[in-house]
Structure 1
Amino acid sequence: MKSKHRVLIAIGAIILVLLLVFWSVIAEAQQVRPVLDGDTPVEDAGNRTVRYSTAGFYPVQGSGRSVMNMDPAWRFARGHHDGAWREDYRGDSAWQTVNVPHGLELLPVEASGGVNYRGEAWYRKYFQTPAGVKGKRLVLWFEGIMGKAKVWVNGRQVAEHFGGFLPVVADIGDAIRPDEGAINVVAVMADNGDDPTYPPGKPQAQLDYCYFGGIYRDVWLVATNKVYITDPNQTDRVAGGGLFFATTRLAENRSEAEVALRLNLANDTRRGASGRVEYTLVGPDGKIAASKTQSYSVAAGGDRTLDTKMTVRNPALWSPEHPNLYRLNVRVTDRRGVAVDGFMQRVGIRTVAFDPAQGFVLNGKPYPRKLIGGNRHQDYAVVGNALSNNLHWRDAAKLKAAGMEIVRNAHYPQDPAFMDACDELGLLVIVNTPGWQFWNEEPVFAERVYGDVRNMVRRDRNRPSVVMWEPILNETWYPEEFAGKVHDIVKEEYPFPGCYTASDSEAKGHEHFEIQFAHPALGEKESAAAHIDPEKVYFTREWGDNVDDWSSHNSTSRVARGWGEVPQLVQANHYAKNDYSSTSYDALYRAPVYHFGGTLWHPFDHQRGYHPDPFYGGLMDAFRRPKYSYEMFRAQNRRAEPMVFIAHEMTPFSPEDVTVFSNCDTVVLHTFVGPDTVWTYVRGRDCDTTGMPSPAIVFPRAWNFMKDKALSRSGRQGDAYILVEGIRNGQVAASQKKSMSRRPMKLELIVDREGVNAVADGSDLVTVVAQITDGNGMVKRLNNRSVRFAIEGEGRLLVPESQAAGVPLIWGEAPVLVQTTTTPGTVKVRAEIAGVQGDWTPHAAEIEFRTVAPLQDLIYMESEAERMEVPVAAAGNATTVGRRQSEDMLRQVEAQQEAFGEQR
């Protein structure tokens, strides 16, 4: 009886366990239904927290997959350190502690001419094994490590990588200590020294840009089950790996679209796996637009690629004006219905085509205007290429606000956060492979270029913003067969409709490519008109630069913001419309239909390797402070909110003529030059409307300092002003009023955020700008003082050593970078005039802003974060190049830029 009783108890226990398992399965199956974005936290009505992709996807709760942010608290040291890869290495006790993205050093504001550090650098991160990852597959996912890189976990090498612009992905499950709370160490060696075996390959002293160094993009720790969706940049599958989404058909009346889905699953277990894949496509309105279920089976230790299609009725199409994004939720379950993997990707439904008779065709219709945009280097003041995600977002937002519709990723794949912004804000993108004016005959170089081409397509193929691929090496004399090879690689990796490649029309093998880069053929101007292929379409990859020669770089297009209003006006008018042989905005608008647009070189000032001066040709400076040319670009967007901008500062040295930029139909200027003097400019009557949408408006002799002086001497300073009104539909739609700035009285502070919250992830960067103004708030542009900043709360000032005594006021402004901590809270910044304070020293200013919690868990040890100090500014080379050799190299640079038509 006792034996029978024990049996019954055992059976009961088994049944109870089975019931518990059953209910846990049901609970898990219920909770893993696709979770949508939901509400994002906001600081106030004007700001939001942007959600960025992580390791190529957006995490979904209850999917069996998690992602954690590894950016905070890395120990760092430059130079060679024997044995720093070892788990038991103790030489890092005196190393600096930094957060990534990190760029090796704080740079001078002008860091061109090879002043940046080049050579070996080391990072070590101590962290505890997170809860819930035991038995999971663990992946360390670096968005970018510059140069040659090796990665170790607990002394075991897990990755080696050559190149700085694409992901470094490593399985670390066998290297990490599995028990929760166990301490692990990741060691990274990053060497950004010159190396001709991988692209760009060219010595940095010969480059027209700087790529700096370090772990300069985000780092993620991804945990999945042993049955999982693969990563396209880790799994070497042609046109495969991970998730592939493409719009394959759009009805002529746009009533429905067909999308293709390709998914790669892997099984790292010792037995076969089977189940279902569920796709749920959620529209911009939050409603399910389409869904599909597919069965799968994957052999033990193998992988499987699944193809299917979905039809979407009445799709909300993606375009620059309406960048509609869908959320594609992917859920993989086992045969019991339990989730084993899944994530969300943001996708857009759209088709693109290029036609010599119609130009650029989007969603089946010719685009109604020329595609005008800009190139983009990932270069920012002080931090080099180590931008935070929000800085990348703000760059995209500023380009969009300038009226740009297309970005060329010069000369490498850009940060995923920048690409996320382009998708969401509606910026078309040309994706480039890394390279600039360099070819190495050694086979390893070409093989690494081919790998880069494949991986850039695999990384960015699902983005609606990407409309063409540029797989060639910029301005390079490569072998002709190379051009055909990279063209074919792109087509292999993207076998669906809508894949287009581009090349210089002057380059070897250009005939392989659907889109040709050239300057527009206009009248009697020198052009590529004799080489026009009627079967091709044309685009200007770089326009606007106007140097005397490629060594001196004197130019009407290169103007530092602090040089004042006349040089800025020269730049703006040069970019807008000129009467000499140089491609302008107006020239692109007048180009034939087969020439569908061009990208400006370059919207932001940036640092250069082979020249001591920064590139000053930006519409904005290195801190993204606007020049007059930025306002000229804004005025070309007739679809945007009405705007007027007075490109004149009313100083004693200002020109008598007053230039105004506006996108309004009629512009009226009121001034005090004569009694009730008014000038009216009517668009259409006063300009040729066949060119650029909004030419510069010049009101002759509308400013006179002596008239201002007379009013001021009689105590009537308030009567001395210029008022400009923009008229639309018979009503005043925009206005601006300017007066001469009088006595400098105070500092004022601006937080440049573009409506985005600062995130307390230890890495986010915010630009704070101090302006010196008179009592009425007019900026005193002509001022030689410096500003000293101080900070309280949850932030750190990043001030280069060259500005330790004070940040100079340039064109009336002094910008500084603030880096957040890992604790959400208030940041208070104070600015005062540097140096001895006198009775009449302009008043100091203070401003506060709040930081918000990050959307991902941060993985770091508190004891490591406590070592964090304000980064030390430093600059210096590990290697040097002899002057005579450098000058010989510069002549080679000049020859190549001349050969590729950059004088235009």
Structure 2
Amino acid sequence: MLKKVKYILICYLSFANLFLQAQTTQRLNTGWEFVKQDLGGAWEAVRPVKAGNPEELPFWQKVNLPHCFNATDAVDPDVNYYQGPGWYRTNIEVDNPYANGRTVLHFEGAGQKTSVYIYNIKVAEHVGGYDEWTADITAAVAEFKKNPVYKTQFKGKIPVVIRCDNSRDLEMIPSSLSDFNVYGGIYRYLNLVYSPQLSFDKLFAKASISEVGGYGKLAISARLINPDLLKNAKVNIYVKDPNGLNILSLSRNIKTFAGDSLLLDWSLRAPKLWSTDNPQLYTVSVDIISNGQSASISEKVGFRKFEFVKKGPFMLNGKRLLLRGTHRHEDHAGVGAAMTEEMIVTEMKMMKEMGVNFIRLGHYQQSRIVLNACDSLGILVWEEIPWCRGGLGGPVYQEQAKRMLTNMIEQHYNHPSIIIWGLGNENDWPGDFTEFDQQKIRTFMKELNDLSHKLDPTRSTAIRRCDFCRDIVDVYSPSIWAGWYRGDYTEYKDVSLAEFNKSDRFLHVEWGGDSHARRHSENPDNALSKIKKGGGADERAGDASLYGGAARVSKDGDWSESYIANLIDWHLKEHETMPWLSGTAYWPFKDFSTPIRPENPVPYVNQKGVIERDFTKKEAFYIFQSYWTNLPMAHIYGHSWPVRWGDEGEEKMVKVYSNCDEAELFVNGKSYGVRKRNSQDFPAAGLRWQVPLRKGKYNFKVVAKKGKVTVTDEITQEYQTEKWGKPAKITLTKIEEKDGIAVLEAKIYDDKGVLCLDAINLVSFSLIGDGELIKDQGTSTGAAKVQLYNGRAIIKMKTNNAKSVISVQSKGIPTVFLNQ
């Protein structure tokens, strides 16, 4: 069991440390084949093929890792995403340089049940799609090398066969009722690792500070593989400060090693602290040398101190820090869960660019790359296990939950960014079992809470939305969706204060609302007139549906970026006047796929993100920047809004989101005056202008100043005064072509040829020919079926330098064709 440990930092993107005991590590990214169905067994993946008479399945496809079963079908509007088995195969060279060393396959994550075979012999299996695990293939490789086919059929390579299965299973977490896809595949990196017989299994460090500005203590303990082989060993420990200067170098001889043995207990004066603004990192290197072989590890360590004040705010290193957070799902356009390291790092840097200092990882243990990035960038973390919705299963279910909690804490224990271990999400949501017993759920939640504190007494525990368990965990987040699932966003502060008063330590995670990217509105708050106030702001059963139930913006609103801009703007300005608030986390940073939202404007996509699934920024991104960042910025609302509308001469509001002290707006070169920024002057913190518009084209430019720094932004929009009637016809045109990619735009008009700027019709694109639609991306411009945004929709296609016919259709309107 772990000792009482606090903080450590694993080097950001240090691939050399992919596995703690690794002396030689190789990512197995290429040379794989995959089949999406079940086989009779592993033998079908490796059996010899006779010349001229193939005996294997003909539909293996070449793939690279990471790879997800559901890269595109998760957002295919015409199918349910695949849940079932899939097989992978490859042949690898194995040549371990260590005498009697271990050869291991290290999985950073694979979903959801995985079996590993060398040739046709099963060597390992794992249940759980999000924690790391290993398959020791040492003995199986040695045995296969005795087989004659090793040198004949396989040319000196080792056949590796892996079966992944994401079939629905009520005795597994997460529940398939969850608002995200339970993906299948080897969707994180898979590594081939060589290590000595005696090597590291885990390394734990306790980096603590007595008081800010006082002494720091660094205690390091380790857990070894094959500790019984240790007779006489030498341990070397080195520590470097954040500037790379050596501050400690020591050696010690050890004769025995049991459990998590302590290797170092050391004090240092006034360590440089890890914080969200300045994540100072120390480097710790440890070698263990035994029988002439050496195992090593080099990691980054962070010193910091945090506290959720009872009935108060959050403190980091003795000062109040308002947690400005968001959420992340492991999901991206075109790849599903199989995000590359480059994609992950890009996403995390975008969060930091937006001003994020806190993230809740929903709703499962995520890639070590994510945690390394949080450590390096200065982003605090709530990480949780996937006990999400459905109720409580039996002994197998509960054992998996405890195992995944243990693995999550031990595997990510050393990240200073982590401050919360999450034990569950929406555990008040029944459905998977005939019994829904609140007392049994409470009992199990207590068991998880005790286990978490036993494994790691230094971090807090938390859950979201399970009121009958709020008293069990250290920090609680209720359901507050003011202005979306219930209530009006202007009620947000009052509702939050009421919930704050019910818990000792309150943190608000999950707020916001859906927005269909590129859809805008001249009157976005109209739906609020239908909404009942004073009835709470919590999400309830059925609220995600677009049909039936009480009036709510999620059902009756326009799903425009304009409405969400106001909702976010209001929340952020209120946060600045809530001194008791520890912080919040907007749900989520990026749109993601979900099986329970087929009727959304982009089918099967939760569209609450501030960016789309392909990293395209929505307008909301810049609103957060205007409140959360210091680097001078200014953004005129409406970069994706080409045509506004209204009466001739009608005054229209032009909004600028900026963190600058003042801004001046120019319309077609004419100044409309200077406005001073005031965060409490809603909307747009006072940076708004009423501009009379007449039919025609307008250039809007803002010049904003912060001290001696000046920043600018500008957009061009048309203003339409013609009134439109019922949609009657569609046009389809090519508006751009570059590097073999054509951009096609559909527009919808009434019978007089007037563009219908509030049309939200569902349109469907299709193609016949040698080109290829870029579809099933789960974005506003990458979906074959999509609701219009202001009477238009865009899709891209690969021309392949060939001829194609593209069509667009909408119910009740004649289909049109485009020859390309």
TM-score by length of 2: 0.75
Indicate the residue corresponding to 2:435 in structure 1: none
Change (3 A) 1:558 1:632: farther
- Give the Cα separation in 2 of the matches to 1:177 and 1:171: 12
Change (3 A) 1:447 1:785: closer
- Give the Cα separation in 2 of the matches to 1:303 and 1:70: 32
* Deviation by residue 1:614-673 (Cα, 9 ceiling, x = unmatched): 21111111212111111111111242343333435674435632121111110110113x
1:355 to 309, 314, 317: 309
Please, which moves more after superposition, 211-220 or 533-542?
Answer: 533-542
TM-superposed deviation, 1:182: 2.9
The one-letter code sitting in structure 1 at the alignment partner of 2:627 is Q
Indicate the residue corresponding to 1:586 in structure 2: 573
* Deviation by residue 1:290-317 (Cα, 9 ceiling, x = unmatched): 3443432247xx7662343223344232
Change (3 A) 1:739 1:245: same
- Give the Cα separation in 2 of the matches to 1:559 and 1:58: 56
Change (3 A) 1:227 1:835: same
TM-superposed deviation, 1:69: 1.0
1:602 to 584, 588, 598: 588
The one-letter code sitting in structure 2 at the alignment partner of 1:606 is F
1:658 to 638, 654, 658: 654
* Deviation by residue 1:518-538 (Cα, 9 ceiling, x = unmatched): 368998976375665688221
The one-letter code sitting in structure 1 at the alignment partner of 2:595 is G
Change (3 A) 1:207 1:473: closer
Change (3 A) 1:797 1:216: farther
Indicate the residue corresponding to 1:491 in structure 2: 453
Indicate the residue corresponding to 1:527 in structure 2: 495
- Give the Cα separation in 1 of the matches to 2:742 and 2:380: 30
Indicate the residue corresponding to 2:710 in structure 1: 733
Counterparts of residues 503-542 of structure 1 (less than 5 Å): 503-504=463-464, 506-518=466-478, 527=495, 532=500, 536-542=504-510
SS where residue 166 of structure 1 aligns?
coil
What percent identity do the matched residue pairs reach? Answer: 21
The one-letter code sitting in structure 2 at the alignment partner of 1:679 is G
Alignment pair present for 1:424 and 2:376: yes
Aligned residues of 1:250 and 1:257 also touching (Cα < 8 A): yes
Alignment pair present for 1:171 and 2:136: yes
SS where residue 606 of structure 2 aligns?
coil
Counterparts of residues 834-873 of structure 1 (less than 5 Å): none
Alignment pair present for 1:246 and 2:206: yes
* Deviation by residue 1:523-561 (Cα, 9 ceiling, x = unmatched): 89763756656882210121124889524248757999x
- Give the Cα separation in 2 of the matches to 1:177 and 1:346: 36
Indicate the residue corresponding to 2:162 in structure 1: 188
TM-superposed deviation, 1:283: 2.7
Indicate the residue corresponding to 2:517 in structure 1: none
Indicate the residue corresponding to 1:154 in structure 2: 119
- Give the Cα separation in 2 of the matches to 1:535 and 1:567: 34
* Deviation by residue 1:422-444 (Cα, 9 ceiling, x = unmatched): 11111111001112212334211
* Deviation by residue 1:691-714 (Cα, 9 ceiling, x = unmatched): 99x637321125x242x45xxxxx
Change (3 A) 1:534 1:315: farther
Counterparts of residues 346-385 of structure 1 (less than 5 Å): 346-356=300-310, 359-367=313-321, 370-385=322-337
TM-superposed deviation, 1:728: 1.2
The one-letter code sitting in structure 1 at the alignment partner of 2:186 is I
Counterparts of residues 117-136 of structure 1 (less than 5 Å): 117-130=82-95, 132=97, 135-136=100-101
How many residues are matched? 700
The one-letter code sitting in structure 1 at the alignment partner of 2:446 is G
TM-superposed deviation, 1:218: 0.7
- Give the Cα separation in 2 of the matches to 1:651 and 1:372: 32
Aligned residues of 1:573 and 1:696 also touching (Cα < 8 A): no
- Give the Cα separation in 1 of the matches to 2:420 and 2:373: 17
Aligned residues of 1:541 and 1:599 also touching (Cα < 8 A): yes
- Give the Cα separation in 2 of the matches to 1:587 and 1:615: 25
Q: Which runs of 5+ in 2 are unaligned?
A: 1-9, 49-55, 146-150, 429-437, 483-489, 515-538, 647-651, 720-732, 746-755, 807-817
1:698 to 688, 699, 707: 688
* Deviation by residue 1:325-347 (Cα, 9 ceiling, x = unmatched): 23221111237xx5510122233
- Give the Cα separation in 2 of the matches to 1:636 and 1:559: 29
Alignment pair present for 1:216 and 2:207: no
Alignment pair present for 1:115 and 2:80: yes
Q: Which runs of 5+ in 1 are unaligned?
A: 1-35, 38-48, 60-64, 231-241, 578-583, 710-719, 751-767, 773-780, 819-828, 837-841, 845-904
SS where residue 246 of structure 1 aligns?
strand
TM-superposed deviation, 1:799: 6.4
The one-letter code sitting in structure 2 at the alignment partner of 1:728 is K
SS where residue 700 of structure 1 aligns?
strand
Indicate the residue corresponding to 2:173 in structure 1: 199
2:200 to 223, 229, 244: 229
- Give the Cα separation in 2 of the matches to 1:512 and 1:80: 43
- Give the Cα separation in 2 of the matches to 1:513 and 1:532: 15
TM-score by length of 1: 0.69
Alignment pair present for 1:572 and 2:555: no
SS where residue 210 of structure 1 aligns?
coil
* Deviation by residue 1:451-472 (Cα, 9 ceiling, x = unmatched): 1111110111101111111113
SS where residue 281 of structure 1 aligns?
strand
Counterparts of residues 585-734 of structure 1 (less than 5 Å): 585-593=572-580, 595-612=581-598, 613=600, 614-647=605-638, 651-654=642-645, 656-672=652-668, 676-684=670-678, 688=680, 695=685, 697-701=687-691, 704-706=693-695, 708=696, 720-729=698-707, 731=708, 733-734=710-711
- Give the Cα separation in 1 of the matches to 2:185 and 2:654: 47
Aligned residues of 2:164 and 2:185 also touching (Cα < 8 A): yes
Indicate the residue corresponding to 2:217 in structure 1: 258
The one-letter code sitting in structure 1 at the alignment partner of 2:441 is P
* Deviation by residue 1:115-137 (Cα, 9 ceiling, x = unmatched): 21111111122112236256311
Alignment pair present for 1:393 and 2:345: yes
- Give the Cα separation in 1 of the matches to 2:348 and 2:132: 21
TM-superposed deviation, 1:144: 1.2
Alignment pair present for 1:76 and 2:34: yes
TM-superposed deviation, 1:592: 4.3
SS where residue 572 of structure 1 aligns?
helix
Change (3 A) 1:167 1:815: farther
Change (3 A) 1:769 1:141: farther
Indicate the residue corresponding to 2:531 in structure 1: none
Change (3 A) 1:249 1:616: same
Aligned residues of 1:568 and 1:627 also touching (Cα < 8 A): yes
Aligned residues of 1:266 and 1:303 also touching (Cα < 8 A): no
TM-superposed deviation, 1:366: 2.3
TM-superposed deviation, 1:289: 3.5
The one-letter code sitting in structure 1 at the alignment partner of 2:166 is N
- Give the Cα separation in 2 of the matches to 1:806 and 1:479: 41
TM-superposed deviation, 1:154: 2.8
Change (3 A) 1:813 1:114: closer
TM-superposed deviation, 1:771: 10
TM-superposed deviation, 1:250: 4.0
TM-superposed deviation, 1:382: 2.3
Please, which moves more after superposition, 151-160 or 441-450?
Answer: 151-160
The one-letter code sitting in structure 1 at the alignment partner of 2:245 is K
Alignment pair present for 1:309 and 2:265: yes
Aligned residues of 2:665 and 2:672 also touching (Cα < 8 A): yes
2:297 to 343, 348, 363: 343
Q: Which structure dedicates a bigger proportion of its chain to strand?
A: 2
Indicate the residue corresponding to 2:414 in structure 1: 462
- Give the Cα separation in 1 of the matches to 2:423 and 2:797: 35
* Deviation by residue 1:58-102 (Cα, 9 ceiling, x = unmatched): 96xxxxx11111121222112221122578534356411211111
Aligned residues of 1:358 and 1:366 also touching (Cα < 8 A): no
SS where residue 141 of structure 2 aligns?
coil
The one-letter code sitting in structure 1 at the alignment partner of 2:366 is Q
